[in-house]
Amino acid sequence: MDAVELRCIRDNEKGIVGFLGVAEQNLEMLFVHPEYRGKRIGKSLLNYSIDNLNITKVDVNEQNEQAVGFYKHCEFEIIGRSELDSSGKPYPTLHMELKK
C-alpha cells in the first residue's frame, strides 16, 4: 500500500480540528473533533480530497450510521459490502464510491 497522505484544518489557535488521510484514490480516514461537528469541517475536507486528491472511494463501518449518512449525503453510493473489515475483524464494511 502507498503511504497515506494527510491533510488537516486548524482553528484560530492552530489546533487541529479535523483531518483526513488518503491513499490510492481511497479516503482512508476522516475525523472531526466533536466540538466542531456540524460546522462543515468534514464537508470541507471531503470536498478538498475530491477536488485536489482525486478521491473516488471510501470504506465505512456499516454500524457507523452517522458516517454512512454523511457520505450518502455527499453523493457517495454503496457499491459493495464485506463481512470483515480490512484487518479481518468481524465488522461489516460498506464500500462506497462517488457517483459519476
Mean pLDDT taken over the chain: 93
Q: What are the extents of the domains in the chain?
A: 1-55, 57-100
pTM summary value? 0.88
Mean pLDDT across the stretch 63-88? 94
Q: Which three cell numbers stand for residue 14?
A: 492552530
Whole-number pLDDT of residue 8: 96
Q: Which amino acid is residue 57, in one-letter code?
A: K
Reported as a pLDDT band with limits 50, 70 and 90, residue 1 is low
Q: What is the CATH number of domain 1-55?
A: 3.40.630.30
Q: Report residue 100's pLDDT band, with 50, 70 and 90 as the boundaries.
A: confident
Burial group, residue 81, by CB count within 10 angstroms (0-12, 13-18, 19+): exposed
Query: Percent of the chain, pLDDT > 70?
Result: 98
